[in-house]
Amino acid sequence: MLKSRKLGQQGLEVSELGLGCMGMSHAYGNADDKESIATIHRAIDLGCTFFDTAEIYGPFKNEELLGEAIRPYRDKIKVATKFGFIVGGRAFEGADSRPSHIREVVEASLKRLQTDRIDLLYQHRVDPNVPIEDVAGTVKDLIREGKVLHFGLSEAGVDNIRRAHAIQPISALQSEYSIWERNLDVGIRPLLSELGIGLVPFSPLGRGFLTDASKRAEDYPQDDFRAKGDPRLKGSNFDANSAIADTVRDVAQKNGVTSAQVALAWLLQLGDDVVPIPGTKRQSRLEENFASASVALPLVDIELLNGVQKAVGERYTSRAMAMVDR
């Protein structure tokens, strides 16, 4: 059974690993609602109390799926969702964190999730057109009203984290972070420690690259965003980055575990304020991922992983990278 960890200093307690639900409805090929719901239920059986979704995953379908799956277990688990985009025919139509829009999104998310409160509400991406103080102030009001319990940011930079936290204390920052993605090491992680903010790493397995099934972009189906949306998996970038996957694989073989378990164990051993959210729609992968909680990597292996080369290539297309606040 998974143990508990605290995110932030506002009383948010969740399992040491969460379940990222995005891939059940978005970005990673065909949906399988029956298996996805079974996977959510299996996660709860294994002690997972932390489930991550967003209105744009689908769009909207992922919140609906999660809401249906967790309805009998709602008081036992914590739900995180997000606002901050204009949702049109495509998921990403631009940023929108106007206070009125935040309220509209929250009301719609509550209905789709079949609940009366959102345990952790993230701003999905910083909106350069709306002062972060207005965003934090709106969430502060929603917390006073009981519709939201805790505030989070996603992919936010140092200045915006500090300014938002001064208005409404932040419980968690959700950003991409893993063995091959260390963009938070300078500036962000020291700030989180200073302010007492938890870290929720998404894509902790490098979108599958840090597993025993890593493959090139062209080997993914066209309905999988990795086929076009992850420059690190393409051509010479993939060749250069394979050294990282090889190191993870060597550590896994030495310790008698899988590469995915090494990648997650490395994150878990960073501190009790770190809660990775590996995503999967398959029960077998879920069980493999959650078993990482019992993996204790030797210090020599942690140091080896700490020293892997910097990944070659951007982690998103230029359009998506433009929305990351650094």
Active site residues: 57
Coil, helix or strand for 97?
coil
Give residue for tokens 């200093």. Answer: 9
Best CA proximity match to 174, nearest among 14, 281, 4: 14
| Per-residue exposure over 190-199, b if at least 16 CB sit within 10 Å of its own CB, e if not | ebbeebbbbb
CB proximity list for 282: less than 8 A, separation 6 or greater: 35, 39
Residues 80 and 122: their CA atoms lie apart, in Å, by: 7
Instruction: Tell me the two tokens of residue 236.
Output: 């010479």
Residues 204 and 279: their CA atoms lie apart, in Å, by: 9
Residues 257 and 293: their CA atoms lie apart, in Å, by: 12
Dihedrals phi, psi of 121, to nearest 5 degrees: -110, 120
Element (H, E) at 5: strand 4-7
